[in-house]
Structure 1
Amino acid sequence: MPRLVHADQVGFIPGREARDATTRVLSAIRLAQVRRTPMLLLSMDADKAFDRVSWRFLFSTLEHLGVGDGFLKWVAALYDTPTARVRVNGALSDSFHIRNGTRQGCPLSPLLFALFLEPLLTSIRANANITGIDGQHHTHKLSAYADDLMFMVTEPSVTIPEISTELTRYGSLSGFLVNADKSEILNITLTKLQCAQIRDLTSYRWCDGKMKYLGVWLANTPDRLYAENFGTLFATLSDDLRFWKTKMLSWIGRINVLKMNVLPRLLFLFQALPILLPATFFRSLRSLFTRFIWPTRSSRLQYRTLALSKQSGGLALPDMKWYYYASHLTRIVDWMSYDSGQRWQDLETALSGIALWAVPWIRKPLLRHRVVSDTSVSATLAIWHSIRSKFALSSAPSPLLPLIHNPDFPGEISKSLREKFTDEPRFQVRHVLRDGQFVDITLDTSMPCSFLDTFHYHRLRLYLRRLPGNSSLLRPLTPFEKFCAMGLQLDHSISALYKIIQKADDYIPTYMGRWERELDMPISTELWTKTLQLTHKGTRISALVENSFKIISFWYRSPLLMARISDNGDPSCWRNCSQTGSYLHIWWTCPRIRIYWTLISTLLTKLTDHTPQFNPEVYLLLQVEGSISGLKRSILLRVLLCARALVPRHWRSPSLPSISELITRVQELRLAEETLVSSDKTRQAFHDTWYYWDTTLSTADFCAFTGEWGAALALLDGSPGAP
């Protein structure tokens, strides 16, 4: 498809996105303003675009594009004399034949429409009377996202009538029709007199300073973009979260709402409008999210902790500022791509005055008077220079420092000299290095150098020797620089770059250090990895995952903590053991709760013929002996997760969970897992996991154990202070 459909069309084509269209139009607007080129934007909306597709024209277009006979027959089979009937008030009409339009809901329809529209776009590009704005190497006349057409018109008095002629001619052949009532014009740099003349040529509606395009408000002045788009979105998010705040959502469920609903909306704008955003915007977002996660109480965990990845001890709560950074880093990776085909890059090259692949690595002072301000290029560079060292993305200078298109190193480097180092079209410092040393090609007798090559080589070495901080040129490439050096567009680039930023943050959750103090022992990274893996991946039941994370993160408030934050609080354990109710005491060292864990230990032994070590590291932090994969399949982990989840049900109460509560909770987990069985393989794994539970539950030994459990609780209830 990318080879059949020109880069002007970005809708539903692999490797192309809506941001390619919006970024291109933004750059065209700014370039017209800088050059003072008279320009307007003409947005055209097709009337029932997919329904009006003429099949005869469609198949003729496919044949002209060289689509094979086999594929044509497959497509023709989908459109072979289809019929339809209309139901009106319960009555069905007679069948009638359908002769135009693409199939609704068919994944092939958007691709067919893109091919169907290509003759129109080709004709417009070839029409010399339809003008556009000139970039560095190309003229940009229009941008298309499926049937949404955006024209960048620089000579409107001639161009607009020509566009109408092209549309009329194409419509007579294909059935395509423009909805004039929904088509709009946005003046960018025309004078009032020019606008008055154009109004007489067309009946299209004129916008007052802004125009909606692909979900984004375009404005004729850069300073309006933030308020019209991000300010409006923030107000919408505030209303949505205020409404959802009253709903019965779990704690982790609220975080998932931010991930699944809010994050995509912000990410779209971050990519579609690559502009500078004030720090106050992100502070307001963080405050909004915090109030949503903790609707009725103050936050019990730092936002920074929750924003860590699950492997690092957090809950992967989106850090919107980091996602904003990742969206701009994606643009830099795009700049470094050898053949991305992204049309907006040509316009941004014109705005920067330097090849985009070279711009990030050139010293910042040299760019100050070359890159046009208030552009997507200047925004990305400002963010890049503010975060490149902070997140270990790169150092200055970098091994990717360009040796051509570099204002700091003027003059030519002969092509023959470049070819001695690399056959790549770009020439960077990394190409003249080998094993951390500069390559001395003058000593290589197999590749003799001409006088000119030798002169250029020594001039190059002199430049690099005098370069401040040149020792960093010899270092290995950072992970981000490796992405850039590949010269390819990244799949899932936002996620990949967000993870790089995350890994550069060396923050360690405070609860990890607190557990070491509570237990008076160090906990290795390997043990914390097991704790976090079993916390988040030990079960697919979200309530148990939430309980596990709450335990390790000190989410639950002990009597001692509540006494500290209230004036008249009592720090004593509420189980009437006359001891101070610290967090570890409530969960483990209280004489009454130890009876509960002893009973759980006995049950685990009966189920598995294995007695886990009796300590809080095992029962509270899940640091059980055995492999993580084996524990995920074991009944031991499931019973332990259910037993831990019952303790908060008796929070602020002297009572302990009963055996019937435990059986009920485990059976609920069993039923939930059974509903997730989807194949014979997973069914066998399910039966293997639950075999010992199912067979033990009905034995006489288990019945006797339930009696022992009840007797132990009765004894505790009779003498509350005794173990």
Structure 2
Amino acid sequence: MIVLPQLLFLFQSLPVEVPIKQFNEWNRTISRFIWQNKKPRIRYKTLCLPRDKGGMSLPCLENYYKAAQLQYVVYWCKEDYDAKWKELELNQLDIPLQPLLGDKTLKTIYSSKLSDLTKIPLNIWFKEICNSNLERKARLLRWVEHDRDFRPAQLDMRFKELTRKGITSYCLISSDTGLDSFQQLQENHDLDKKDFYRYLQLRHHFDRNIRILKEGDLDLIDILIDAYKGKIQRKVVSRLYLCLQLYKKLSTSYVKCNWEREANIILTEDDWLNICEINASTTSSGQWREFAWKNIIRFFITPRRKYLQSGRTESGHCWRQCNNVMAGHCH
């Protein structure tokens, strides 16, 4: 907690690309500090998990760096956020920067005109979108006027006028049930009756190419949609960090499997998560909470493990002098 704020300040201040090699070096340094240069007993990735999922909430510096860079992407979409840097970045191109977030090909077309200040967040954005299979959902961030797959917008100049009336990204004119009705768009954006045919073209394209049939957990796209709708006020970096952590799909299921094998029982995923949550919230004593967590995560070296390591029979006796031989974690 002493190191993280200092690094996080640099991550947010310097528009530079940090190589993965540097993060690996930092992780090794932190691991050596935690285990005092001894062999680690618990995986580093397990320690990075939240406490209610069996971890110790150790910060993942790589994801904090990505979250710090992606916060600027969120502020691009947040209309009421005002800053001089934002005005400079949004005026680099002859089109707004926001439509690039939903179309990687469009970003490639304008890549040569972008500064490093915007290239780094955009590169991180598209890499994470690809890793999390959110390319289809990212289409909600496209702007109607700049959607290359929507042919009428390329031929009909009236869509530029609709952009000035506030019909920009698809996420602003749609909901979970689909595209807003023409009556809603008339009330919110002052559309004319002559725009009804354009609305039908737009709805057909939306239902066929944009609409998402299934909603999942909170993801990066949802954060940007909330920014468009003015729902994000604070803790932008924290929300982005939590999403990036979820994409890694880390868990302590391997520990659960060891318990099942040793105790000859079956634990459901809900049972295991309930065990972790109870341990994280049962007592206010940090010492007892840590001790219970070590038991759950199988931290301690049991007599059975000592016997396997040394090969001496006397090392396999339970240290409580209960005459149990080869005592394991269940004992």
Interval of TM-score (by shorter of Structure 1 and Structure 2): 0.7 to 0.9
> How far apart are the structure 1 equivalents of 2:211 and 2:197?
25
For residues 213-259 of structure 1, the C-alpha deviation after alignment (integer angstroms, 9 at most, x for no partner) is xxxxxxxxxxxxxxxxxxxxxxxxxxxxxxxxxxxxxxxxxxxxxxx
Partner of 2:20: 279
8 Å CA contact retained: 1:404, 1:413? no
> How far apart are the structure 1 equivalents of 2:35 and 2:205?
57
The partner residue of 2:101 within 342, 356, 360 is: 360
For residues 469-497 of structure 1, the C-alpha deviation after alignment (integer angstroms, 9 at most, x for no partner) is x2655555863333322333530111122
- 2:108 corresponds to which letter in structure 1? R
> How far apart are the structure 1 equivalents of 2:100 and 2:273?
40
8 Å CA contact retained: 1:352, 1:377? no
Partner of 2:240: 497
> How far apart are the structure 1 equivalents of 2:165 and 2:309?
65
Determine if the alignment matches structure 1 residue 298 to structure 2 residue 39: yes
- 1:483 corresponds to which letter in structure 2? I
> How far apart are the structure 1 equivalents of 2:239 and 2:100?
22
- 1:289 corresponds to which letter in structure 2? I
Partner of 2:82: 341
Determine if the alignment matches structure 1 residue 579 to structure 2 residue 325: yes
Q: How does 1:163-178 map to 2 (within 5 A)?
A: none
For residues 296 and 457 of structure 1, do their structure 2 counterparts lie closer, same or farther at Cα, with a shift above 3 Å needed? closer
For residues 480-526 of structure 1, the C-alpha deviation after alignment (integer angstroms, 9 at most, x for no partner) is 33332233353011112212223344332121222222222223445
Partner of 2:110: 370
1:530 is displaced (CA, Å) by 4.3
Partner of 1:309: 50
The partner residue of 1:429 within 159, 170, 178 is: 170
For residues 426 and 295 of structure 1, do their structure 2 counterparts lie closer, same or farther at Cα, with a shift above 3 Å needed? farther
Q: How many residues matched?
A: 315
- 1:572 corresponds to which letter in structure 2? G
**Further displaced range: 300-309 or 394-403:** 394-403
The partner residue of 1:547 within 267, 291, 305 is: 291
CA RMSD of aligned residues (A): 3.5
Partner of 2:193: 449
> How far apart are the structure 1 equivalents of 2:204 and 2:47?
50
> How far apart are the structure 2 equivalents of 1:477 and 1:360?
20
Q: How does 1:514-525 map to 2 (within 5 A)?
A: 514-525=258-269
> How far apart are the structure 2 equivalents of 1:330 and 1:410?
31
> How far apart are the structure 2 equivalents of 1:461 and 1:434?
13
- 2:328 corresponds to which letter in structure 1? S
> How far apart are the structure 2 equivalents of 1:396 and 1:435?
12
8 Å CA contact retained: 1:539, 1:545? yes
For residues 271 and 579 of structure 1, do their structure 2 counterparts lie closer, same or farther at Cα, with a shift above 3 Å needed? same
For residues 523 and 425 of structure 1, do their structure 2 counterparts lie closer, same or farther at Cα, with a shift above 3 Å needed? same
1:437 is displaced (CA, Å) by 4.3
Partner of 1:399: 140
Q: How does 1:154-165 map to 2 (within 5 A)?
A: none
8 Å CA contact retained: 1:397, 1:472? no
Partner of 1:483: 223
For residues 435-466 of structure 1, the C-alpha deviation after alignment (integer angstroms, 9 at most, x for no partner) is 64456759x9x98732xx3564466467658x
The partner residue of 1:558 within 302, 308, 315 is: 302
8 Å CA contact retained: 1:310, 1:536? yes
> How far apart are the structure 1 equivalents of 2:297 and 2:131?
28
8 Å CA contact retained: 1:394, 1:478? no
For residues 376 and 416 of structure 1, do their structure 2 counterparts lie closer, same or farther at Cα, with a shift above 3 Å needed? closer
Task: Look up the SS of the partner of 2:27 in the other structure.
Answer: helix
Partner of 2:122: 381
Partner of 2:279: 535
Bigger Rg, structure 1 or 2: 1
1:399 is displaced (CA, Å) by 1.9
Task: Look up the SS of the partner of 1:388 in the other structure.
Answer: helix
- 2:272 corresponds to which letter in structure 1? W
For residues 88-142 of structure 1, the C-alpha deviation after alignment (integer angstroms, 9 at most, x for no partner) is xxxxxxxxxxxxxxxxxxxxxxxxxxxxxxxxxxxxxxxxxxxxxxxxxxxxxxx
- 1:563 corresponds to which letter in structure 2? Y
8 Å CA contact retained: 1:353, 1:370? no
> How far apart are the structure 2 equivalents of 1:414 and 1:373?
28
- 2:105 corresponds to which letter in structure 1? P
8 Å CA contact retained: 2:136, 2:210? no
- 1:316 corresponds to which letter in structure 2? S
> How far apart are the structure 1 equivalents of 2:176 and 2:324?
69
Partner of 2:72: 331
Greater strand proportion: 1
Greater helix proportion: 2
1:280 is displaced (CA, Å) by 0.5
For residues 524 and 396 of structure 1, do their structure 2 counterparts lie closer, same or farther at Cα, with a shift above 3 Å needed? closer
8 Å CA contact retained: 1:393, 1:478? no
1:297 is displaced (CA, Å) by 1.4
> How far apart are the structure 1 equivalents of 2:81 and 2:182?
33
- 2:279 corresponds to which letter in structure 1? T
- 2:107 corresponds to which letter in structure 1? L
> How far apart are the structure 2 equivalents of 1:548 and 1:367?
50
Partner of 1:513: 257
- 1:281 corresponds to which letter in structure 2? Q
> How far apart are the structure 1 equivalents of 2:310 and 2:212?
58
- 2:170 corresponds to which letter in structure 1? V
The percent identity for this pair of structures is: 22
Q: How does 1:551-630 map to 2 (within 5 A)?
A: 551-566=295-310, 572-575=316-319, 577=323, 579-584=325-330, 588=331
| Higher-RCO chain (CA-CA 8 Å, sequence separation at least 6) | 2
Q: Which runs of 5 or more residues in structure 1 are unaligned?
A: 1-259, 589-723
Task: Look up the SS of the partner of 1:339 in the other structure.
Answer: coil
For residues 393 and 570 of structure 1, do their structure 2 counterparts lie closer, same or farther at Cα, with a shift above 3 Å needed? farther
> How far apart are the structure 2 equivalents of 1:342 and 1:269?
19
8 Å CA contact retained: 2:100, 2:142? no
- 1:364 corresponds to which letter in structure 2? K
Q: Which runs of 5 or more residues in structure 2 are unaligned?
A: none
